[in-house]
Amino acid sequence: MGTLQSLSDEPEYRELAEKTGFSFEQIGILHKRFKQLSHNENTLRRADLDTIPDLACNPIRTQIIEAFFDKRNFHQNGDGTVEEISFEEFLVVMSHFRPPALNMTEEQREKVRREKLRFLFNMHNTDNDGTITLEEYRHVVEELLSRSGALGKETAKGIADAAMLEVASISMGHMEPDEFYEGITFEHFLKILKDIEIETRMNIRFLNMDTTTLCNRDSSSIR
């Protein structure tokens, strides 16, 4: 990590650190990675992220990549998607995966949980209407199961249906036979996933890793 680099960007880093909660060291590491992915430009495009080899085997890579370009994740109350993102926006999206501090109050923990769940919710809710409809859920399940061999679409459909039914029964309780369940709102989403302890699971440990080895590997595969 270039100390020269951090010295020159220090005021900027400070601002970023305050905004996202990362330490200077972590910002430095991420900045290096950003530059490597974007080939030393200032903005990152989707095409850059498509070239990461390990990501190619991930069943939900499109959703993950989309999440980085989704304005809702930039904490600026924006909407829609963008074509390219700056380092600051990259960092803001990454801050969703920051591990919570050791001594947090219950309130702060709740806030962190909401934030992370909001990230997941946005991943599902592609049309931004505030609810996850059956179609969107089915899409997610299909993607998730796409890696496990040739499962028919029917199974994925069945599973998504069962999952929606579960949400309906948990959040709405007893329903009249002619009622219709519109879709999963954010509040229902929070309710069904409240036991999952997401603040402890959805974290990335930003270890002090040497990214030069990755550089060589990735650049060789790009060529």
Partner 1 sequence: AQPLSEWAFTRHRLYFLTIGLVLLNLPCGSYTEIPPKPPGTVTVLPPVTPAEGPQAFPDAENSNLPVFTMNYARIQVPFEVTLWVLLASFAKIGFHVYHKITFWVPESCLLISIGLMVGAIMHSVHEEPPAVLSYNVFFLFMLPPIVLESGYFIPTRPFFENVGTVLWFAVVGTLWNSIGIGMSLYAVCQIEAFEVQDINLQENMLFAAIISAVDPVAVLSVFEDVSVNEQLYIVVFGECLFNDAVTVVLYNMFNFVAEMPEVEPVDVFLGVARFFVVGLGGMGFGVIFGFVASFTTRFTSNVREIEPLFIFMYSYLAYLVAELFSISSIMAIVTCALTMKYYVEENVSQRSCTTIRHVVKMLGTISETLIFFFLGVVTITTEHEWNWGYIMFTLLLALVWRGLGVLVLTQIINPFRTIPFNFKDQFILGYGGLRGAISFALVFTLPDSIGRKKLFVTTTICMIMFTVFIQGISIRPLIEFINVRRTNRNLETINVEIHSRLIEHTIAGVEDLCGQWSHYYWKDKFLKFNNRILRKILIRDNRAESSIVALYKKLELQNAMEILDTVSGDINAGSSIVSLQYVYPLSHSSACFLSLSLSLSRSLSLACSLSLACSLSLSFSLSLLLAFSLSLSLSLSLSLSVSFCGLVTLSVSLSLCPPGCLSYTSFHIVHPSSLTHYPFNLNRSDGYLRNPEGFGLGSIYQG
Does residue 52 bind partner 1 (CB under 8 A)? yes
* CA–CA gap between residue 155 and residue 161 (Å, rounded): 10
8 A C-beta contact, residue 74 and residue 18: no
Q: CA-CA distances (angstroms) from residue 172 to 114, 159, 166, 189, 205?
A: 21, 19, 10, 12, 37
Q: CA-CA distances (angstroms) from residue 142 to 41, 44, 49, 137, 172?
A: 35, 28, 22, 9, 25
Does residue 144 bind partner 1 (CB under 8 A)? yes
**Shortest separation between residue 10's beta carbon and partner 1, angstroms:** 22
Which region, left, alpha or beta, applies to residue 68 given φ > 0 means left and ψ of -120 to 50 means alpha? alpha
Does residue 85 bind partner 1 (CB under 8 A)? no
- Interface residue with partner 1 among 19, 127, 135, 172 (CB under 8 A) is 172
Region binding partner 1 by CB under 8 A among candidate stretches 5-13, 17-25, 76-84, 148-156? 148-156
Does residue 192 bind partner 1 (CB under 8 A)? yes
**Shortest separation between residue 11's beta carbon and partner 1, angstroms:** 24
Looking only at residues 95 through 124 of this chain, which bind partner 1 when binding is defined by CB under 8 A?
A: 97, 99, 102-103, 120, 123
Paired with 124 in beta bridges are: none
* Number of residues near partner 1 (by CB under 8 A): 70
Three-class secondary structure of residue 113 per DSSP: helix
Chain residues that interact with partner 1, rule: CB under 8 A:
29-30, 33, 36-37, 49, 52, 54-55, 57-61, 63-64, 68, 94, 97, 99, 102-103, 120, 123, 140-141, 144-145, 147-149, 151, 155, 158-159, 161-170, 172, 174-175, 177-181, 192-193, 195-198, 200-207, 209, 211, 214
